[in-house]
Amino acid sequence: MSWEDNVRKMVPYVAGEQPKSKDVIKLNTNECPYPPAPAVAKLAQEMDTGLFRLYPDTDSTSLTNALSEYYGVKPGQVFVGVGSDDVLSLCFLTFFNSDKPILFPDVTYSFYDVWADLYKIPYKTVPLKDDWSIDVEGFKQENGGVIFPNPNAPTGLFSSLEKVEEIIKANPDVVVIVDEAYIDFGGESALPLLEKYENLLIVQTFSKSRAMAGLRIGFCMGNEKIIKYLNDVKFSVNSYTMNRPAQTLGVLAVKDDAYFKEITGKVMATREWTKKELTRLGFTFPDSKANFIFASHESVPAKDIFNYLRGHNIYVRFWDKPRINNHLRITIGTDNQMRTLIAALEAYLG
Amino acid sequence: MSWEDNVRKMVPYVAGEQPKSKDVIKLNTNECPYPPAPAVAKLAQEMDTGLFRLYPDTDSTSLTNALSEYYGVKPGQVFVGVGSDDVLSLCFLTFFNSDKPILFPDVTYSFYDVWADLYKIPYKTVPLKDDWSIDVEGFKQENGGVIFPNPNAPTGLFSSLEKVEEIIKANPDVVVIVDEAYIDFGGESALPLLEKYENLLIVQTFSKSRAMAGLRIGFCMGNEKIIKYLNDVKFSVNSYTMNRPAQTLGVLAVKDDAYFKEITGKVMATREWTKKELTRLGFTFPDSKANFIFASHESVPAKDIFNYLRGHNIYVRFWDKPRINNHLRITIGTDNQMRTLIAALEAYLG
């Protein structure tokens, strides 16, 4: 026997590449192409670093209050974590604790099955329909919990609130998590449904629409009972997850609503322009409401395009996985970056 | 049936109180009374907040390299997390995966049994001896893993490296974690033992001796194989745990060794002065090598002293738990703070 026998051995999730070079046009991890709200830069310079010697507020009260105010829910309905991945991981651990399989789409955020494996949660995938839309009927079978992104990733397709509510309504006995990482680019949040369904949990992030991926801030909203359960598990893992810079700077990213609307608006406008250009070049894609486009070319394999772009310092995301291995997920960058991308594609495909 | 039936219900760890008032003399959570290294303040002001839009380096390469250089181990032997609690929680999940009980002292860091409960790990406590020292023989029974702090908390007692090695040597088939959160205040790290024992893992933190509790940085060191297993689990929970401020500012806290030695030296000198004063006032305590003293008074109950001090805005830590409910854990503050504490105690007890 060896100490290695009892190690939990995992095949981890692989995040999109983070190139060290600054010459790269980075359209592979759905970051925001614009900097965070101006007040963030200002406060960062004025932070009282003397306070760094003290533990941060365990409850991240200022950040939780800012979110509660912004979204019109009670502070006890908000939970913050180290990016939405931290929040989601804790949700899997807390709420998906049944012997029955949890359900999520077959083509979706590829971290879901990793968390399920990690925490030994049985799961079953519900295939997307041929048009990449979520199959609502598939979520009406017996299960131990439900999770799906809206808009879905990597397809970018938004499911109407009617569809979302149909899934929640069919699953009153389990927790239903709607992962709204990309909701701020034209989708409609399930937030109004919180009043009707106490088993609903909505997860969002500062990493995309609030341009704060580097600060690691995610959050979820639900009724106070569900948030209490989540906090009990969180405080059983790590009392202090959010550090002082995340807590103080995060508040400012929430407060500047005009800037938030400005940058998400710009991303959406650039996305619509990019859609037209991609169509012109022979790409097809589901109609994205996210800050990325999931595109497939009519004749050239996705992998070849991926390699070509990479050779020209343009990084997009490609997965060599069944069903999606002829697609690229292209993050929406600045107008300039997208013009460079389109020009490169034109040179290659034309 | 209800969605609540399958919730993982936890009784969480309770951290020491974080008073909002600045008038409090805070000697209850073992923070450092001095600010972080001067370079931290300087760089905080110059941080490129434009980069906040991008995800941080998943591997925290700069921080890992700084630690590897400082401690003379390979970069692949270092793992960083969101405080040592994050590191320890991941270690429990990764390495304590046997049906046999893990072992830790009965009086020790009170998060160990919370993690064991959370991850459904069986455990057995090994009673400290009457002099509060760790009972090495007790760690020679069959087990699924071993963890103990050195110096132990809340006793502050340091176990000699001979004792530590005896425990490791007796347990070649499981992972042995030495939790060295308080090692920089006069103890001797088990670091030299890493070359001999591939099942040894040493956990340390920036929260005490490096005055960075507010930044949430912990780390562990082990052989490359054990660190690889830990990374596989970490990357199955959250790809990006360390945010950009923690990564960049953490490096500076490691680089300024003179400042590090200065503040830990000051804390130790203040501790020795405080020991003499406490003895004079009728307290007894194990001989602490940490940044706190675990003290009991000859005639006045700890709880009464705790309440008296609290009423005078001096916070220390008290646990209403068997065996330790007549002790206070008093963090070492500045000389001034300790003089105020001693004066208050003198007024109350004298």
**CA A177 vs CA A87, A181, A190, A290, B25: distances in Å:** 11, 12, 10, 18, 43
DSSP three-state, residue A85: helix
Span A188-197, average pLDDT = 98
Q: What is the pLDDT of residue A14?
A: 86
Q: What is the pLDDT of residue B13?
A: 86
Q: Grade residue B120 by pLDDT with cuts at 50, 70 and 90.
A: very high
CB A32 within 8 A of CB A209: yes
pLDDT beyond 90 at B65: yes
Q: Tell which of A1, A18, A49, A100 to mutate to test the B interface (max B CBs under 10 Å).
A: A49
CB A278 within 8 A of CB A295: yes
| Lowest mean pLDDT across A309-313, B14-18, B71-75 | B14-18
Query: Which CATH code fits A54-255?
Result: 3.40.640.10
- What the block records as the tokens of A10 is 């995992």
The string of pLDDT tens digits covering residues B236-281 is 999 999 999 999 999 999 999 999 999 999 999 999 999 999 999 9
Minimal CA separation from B194 to chain A, in Å: 15
Task: State the Cα–Cα distance between residues A172 and A167, nearest whole angstrom.
Answer: 9
pLDDT beyond 80 at B20: no
Q: What are phi and psi of A36, to 5 degrees?
A: -65, 170
Strands, E, within A21-122: which ranges?
A: 25-26, 78-81, 102-105
Q: Tell which of B13, B24, B48, B53 to mutate to test the A interface (max A CBs under 10 Å).
A: B53
pLDDT beyond 90 at A106: yes
Does the beta-carbon distance from A243 to B240 stay under 8 Å?
no
Task: State the Cα–Cα distance between residues A121 and B49, nearest whole angstrom.
Answer: 39
Neighbours of B38 (CB within 10 A): 12
Chain A residues with CB inside 8 Å of B97's CB?
A: 6-8
Residues paired with A146 in a beta bridge = A103, A176
| Lowest mean pLDDT across A15-24, A163-172, B164-173, B223-232 | A15-24
Minimal CA separation from A263 to chain B, in Å: 12
Span A322-330, average pLDDT = 96
Q: What is the pLDDT of residue A16?
A: 83
Q: What is the pLDDT of residue A124?
A: 98
What CATH superfamily is the domain B16-36+258-349?
Aspartate Aminotransferase, domain 1 (3.90.1150.10)
Does the beta-carbon distance from A215 to B172 stay under 8 Å?
no
Q: What is the pLDDT of residue B18?
A: 82
Does the beta-carbon distance from A213 to B240 stay under 8 Å?
yes
Size of interface A-B (CB pairs under 8 A): 279
Span A253-272, average pLDDT = 97
- Pick the more confident residue, A126 or B17: A126
CB B229 within 8 A of CB A9: yes
Q: Grade residue B350 by pLDDT with cuts at 50, 70 and 90.
A: confident
Chain A residues with CB inside 8 Å of B10's CB?
A: 232-233, 235-236
Q: What is the pLDDT of residue A284?
A: 98
Span B147-159, average pLDDT = 98
Average pLDDT, chain A: 96
Chain B residues with CB inside 8 Å of A112's CB?
A: none
**CA B3 vs CA A96, A113, A124, B119, B327: distances in Å:** 10, 21, 19, 21, 42
Domains of chain B, residue spans: 16-36+258-349, 55-255
pLDDT beyond 90 at B23: no
CB A257 within 8 A of CB A245: no
Minimal CA separation from A308 to chain B, in Å: 24
The string of pLDDT tens digits covering residues A17-59 is 888 777 899 999 999 999 999 999 888 888 999 999 999 999 9
Q: What are phi and psi of A164, to 5 degrees?
A: -60, -45
Using a pLDDT cut of 90, give the percent of chain B over it. 93
Q: Full-prediction pTM beyond 0.90?
A: yes
Instruction: Look at residues B182, B198, B201 and name the one whose alpha carbon lies nearest to residue B190.
Output: B201
What is the CA angle A101-A218-A33, rounded to 5?
115
Give the relative orientation of helices A38-46 and A244-255 as an angle to the nearest 10 degrees.
150
Does the beta-carbon distance from A3 to B199 stay under 8 Å?
yes
Task: State the Cα–Cα distance between residues A276 and A288, nearest whole angstrom.
Answer: 12
Instruction: Look at residues A225, A155, A189, A169 and name the one whose alpha carbon lies nearest to residue A67.
Output: A189
Say which residues have a Cβ less than 8 Å from residue B202's Cβ, sequence separation at least 6: B177, B178, B180, B189, B190, B191, B194, B220, B221, B222
Q: What is the pLDDT of residue B14?
A: 86
The string of pLDDT tens digits covering residues A282-316 is 999 999 999 999 999 999 999 999 999 999 999 99
Q: Tell me the fold of B55-255.
A: Aspartate Aminotransferase; domain 2 (3.40.640)
What CATH superfamily is the domain A17-36+258-349?
Aspartate Aminotransferase, domain 1 (3.90.1150.10)
ipTM: 0.96
CA A344 to chain centre: 28
Q: What are phi and psi of A3, to 5 degrees?
A: -60, -20
Q: Tell which of B216, B227, B260, B266 to mutate to test the A interface (max A CBs under 10 Å).
A: B216
